[in-house]
Chain A
Amino acid sequence: MVTDSIANASISLAPNARDLPLPKKKRVRNSKLKQSKLDVRREQWLSRGAVKNKKWNEEDNRLDSVAIKAREDDNLSSKKINMREIGEENDGSVHHHSDFSDSPSNSPPSIGSSILGGNDSGPHFTGSSSSSSCRSSSSCCRSGSITEEEEEEEGDDDCLDDWEAIADALAATDKQHDQCSESSPRGNVVSQLDSCGDSRNELGVEDGDSGVQRGRIAQRASMNCRAWRPDDAFRPQSLPTLSKQLSLPNTDRRFGCGGIPWACGGVMSVPTSCPICFEDLDLTDSSFLPCFCGFRLCLFCHKRILEEDGRCPGCRKPYDHDPADNETNVHGGSPTFPLARSCSMISRS
């Protein structure tokens, strides 16, 4: 049943996707944004050996398979109805769930919601606001799905605040892609592919982490000697889990590398014991970040220090900005977040 629905969906999708009168620019840009999945694509093409002389039909293939993958996400998420429902509650709209199976052009919202389904455990989810903006963007064309997904990820933290930065970043990548696609007819296709891929690699800091998954994908791709097609027998079973694996660590990695202090501190570098008294940090302690410098300590030691000289042991600056600061620090990812994002995007070009 699962395989059937997937096959149907993707078959109906593939021709449509190619027929859609998309501005290439937009597609390219979106594909860039979708770097993690495209990394995987690139691996496939490279292992495919013979680069087909369809010129930039490659691009179409790529988008097709991205769409297919997204579709897989949908199917996966429709299997997980519970998660799905959560995502939709967050979304504030139920109808686009049913839309996606009818017409491919409506798939974007469902992709978004499937992503939401994956991410909905995130504490800073602001689904309703972000999804409304995303729905408007997705209504124009299918390629909206990709941006939308990005936006949804952004939306997990203060989506709306980040709009300007995102727009800047998009513009920057857009320009770069214009050059890229202009030069493509002249140059040979392989080198073009390579250069694009390389730039993507420079950007994708996550290469190392997803190495295992990519390895598996590459292996499968070489086995098939082609990208996943709608009629590909291997695709349905394996893809959902793969895309799941890819998307989840991906966000983690992005957050880790994105220079979000609270995320880094919150997820990766929370010491297990207080560096002052060496007592274990409990849950309250480990979510306690009294100073901008990121030095953590237990509440007891913090209180003790406040009673004495009141300076942070990590940076020796006084703890004057106290409890309110905690809050801003936790959510304070937003000022640095868009910056880091746009920087990384610009560095791509």
Chain B
Amino acid sequence: MAAINRYTDNTAPANPVVSPAKQSLPPAKTADSQSVLKRLQSELMALMMSGDSGISAFPEEDNIFCWKGTITGSKDTVFEGTEYRLTFSFPNDYPFKPPKVKFETGCFHPNVDVYGNICLDILQDKWSSAYDVRTILLSIQSLLGEPNISSPLNTQAAQLWSNQEEYRKMVEKLYKPPTAA
């Protein structure tokens, strides 16, 4: 229970102290975050059991609503051999709303901007509550090799995509491996 309250506090810092007068409100909130908690724990379990290669994710130490994930570039793509760190931020109404996913490691990709924002339909209007961290990671991993050139966030990358050799050189040049932290 203490843990749940802490999570609730983390995500809703505006309501840090539960006064007796407000007792009626928090239960709904608590129940809500408890169900999200259960879902995230189950996802973590499933992700660890799945053993997918090239993707991983784990909650931050103190907040299960924030995860760090990593994906590795698929073989036979220009991103082969590179590794990217991502951050997941889950809303309180997850999974009915998508998590916010960003690249923490710089990624030279047509659909990733310089801030690490990702243009991926399933993270926006095509989100379904049936998706989970694992499918998001897999989707992003496949997005690396198959960018959507028609709506680029990084126009330079989009233009260069047709020349895979040059693109690979660019990736290698800009790639900074994520630090251990």
Contacts and interface: CB of A to CB of B under 8 A. Distances in A.
Interface string A251-295: 000000000000000000000010111110000000000000001
Interface in A274-324: 275-279, 295, 301, 304-305, 308, 311, 313-314, 316
Contact of B128 (A277, A304, A316): A316
Interface residues of B, number: 10
Contacts of A276: 39, 95-96, 129-130
Contacts, number: 29
B173 interface: no
A308 B93 CA distance: 11
Nearest to B43: A278
A316 B122 CA distance: 11
A301 B130 CA distance: 11
A311 B127 CA distance: 10
Interface in A61-106: none
Nearest to B45: A278
B88 to A, nearest CB: 17
A277 B38 contact: yes
Contacts of A273: 42
B130 A277 contact: no
Q: Which of A273, A275, A278 has the most CB of B within 10 A?
A: A278
A: contact size bracket: 10 to 19
B38 A313 contact: no
Nearest to B126: A316
A279 B38 contact: yes
A53 B104 CA distance: 81
Nearest to A307: B96
A308 B130 contact: no
Contacts of B35: 277, 279
A305 B96 contact: yes
Given A276-B95, A277-B35, A279-B35, A301 B42 contact: no
B59 to A, nearest CB: 16
Contacts of A295: 130
A95 to B, nearest CB: 55
Nearest to A314: B130
A295 B126 CA distance: 17
A301 B126 CA distance: 18
A271 to B, nearest CB: 11
A305 B38 CA distance: 18
Nearest to A300: B35
Interface in A316-335: 316
Contacts of B39: 276-278
A179 B36 CA distance: 64
A343 to B, nearest CB: 31
Given A277-B39, A305-B96, A313-B129, 16 more contacts: A275-B130, A276-B129, A276-B130, A278-B38, A278-B39, A278-B42, A279-B35, A279-B38, A304-B96, A305-B129, A308-B96, A313-B128, A313-B130, A314-B128, A314-B130, A316-B128
20 contacts: A273-B42, A275-B130, A276-B39, A276-B95, A276-B96, A276-B129, A276-B130, A277-B38, A277-B39, A278-B42, A279-B38, A295-B130, A301-B129, A304-B96, A305-B96, A305-B129, A308-B96, A313-B129, A314-B130, A316-B128
Interface of A: 273, 275-279, 295, 301, 304-305, 308, 311, 313-314, 316
Q: Which 8 A-B pairs have the closest CB atoms?
A: A313-B130, A278-B42, A313-B128, A313-B129, A276-B129, A277-B35, A278-B39, A278-B38
